Each structure stands twice: as structure tokens, then as C-alpha cells.
Structure 1
Amino acid sequence: MKLECPYCKGDLIKGFIDSGLHSLKWHNENMGLLEKVTVFGGEVLSDCIRVKCYRRKNCNKIIIDLNEL
């Protein structure tokens, strides 16, 4: 199934982001410095080291479906 980029309407390519040994976390831009740079800060989105995503290289966008985590 082909997915369309919501920004440029081109085809998205399915792939994954490799987070190395760590979980994928969300950091709100308003968090304090210690929350952003320590392992204790942030909201864990996935404990997996690989997160499925879709990329559109032309417009430089990556889309992650949190329901697929």
C-alpha cells in the first residue's frame, strides 16, 4: 500500500529509525535542561530500538505512526 506525504503529496517510503541502545523518547521543547539531557527525562514512545516510519526525502519529512509502536 502506497502512502502519500501530507506535505508535498509525493509517495512515502517505508523504513525505520534505529535508536541504538536506547528507547525512543519525546521531549517537549519547554522541558528543563535536566529533563532533556538525562535518561530520566522525556516520554518513552517506544522501548524498541527500531521504530517503523515513512520518509519523503524530497520535502525532508519523516512520519511515525504511534499506533504502530
Structure 2
Amino acid sequence: MKCPFCSKDMIEGSITQDRYALKWVALDKDRGLLNFTPIVKGIKLTSALQNQSVKVFYCEQCRKFIIDQDNLLV
């Protein structure tokens, strides 16, 4: 994948979970440790039921990560 910021090749990799599902939460909804509860709306990146990872591209030049929502394993 080409970086949308600098057009250089990005490195494909993954972000893995440990004990909890990974979830993206908007800054205005962030409630610290309470983000693990189903009350806080967000986009689940992984499932808590399985040890999963998320496919991620990284640009060394721009130091940016890109996660395609279509690649989420939930």
C-alpha cells in the first residue's frame, strides 16, 4: 500500500490484543478505563472472545498507521 501522505510504500503488519478487545472510541466519548464496558460506543477492532490481530499499514517516513475498517476481524 502507498502512503496517502508521502506516496512511499507502507509496511504491512498487525496490532494484536492481549486480554481485552481493542476498540476505537471518539475523544469526546473517551471515559478512560470505562471504555471496556459496552456502554461506550465505539468501533470494535477485535473480539474479546479470541486472540486476534488487526491488519495495519505503517509509514516509516510519516510515522502514520492506517487501519482499513474492512480488514477488522470482529
Normalising by the smaller structure, the TM-score range is 0.7 to 0.9
- Contact preservation (8 Å) 1:21, 1:49: no
**Which AA in structure 2 matches 1:60?**
R
Q: Which has the higher strand share?
A: 1
Unaligned runs of 5+ in 2: none
2:66 maps to: 63
Counterpart Cα distance in 2 of 1:49 and 1:62? 18
Find the counterpart in structure 2 of residue 9 from structure 1. Answer: 7
Identity %: 29
Cα distance in 1, alignment partners of residues 58 and 30 from structure 2: 30
Check the 8 A contact 1:22/1:49 in 2, yes or no: no
In structure 1, stretches of 5+ residues that fail to align are none
> Aligned residues, how many?
65
CA RMSD of aligned residues (A): 1.7
Q: Given the two structures, how large is their TM-score scaled by the length of structure 1? A: 0.78
Give runs of ≥4 in structure 1 deviating > 4 Å.
none
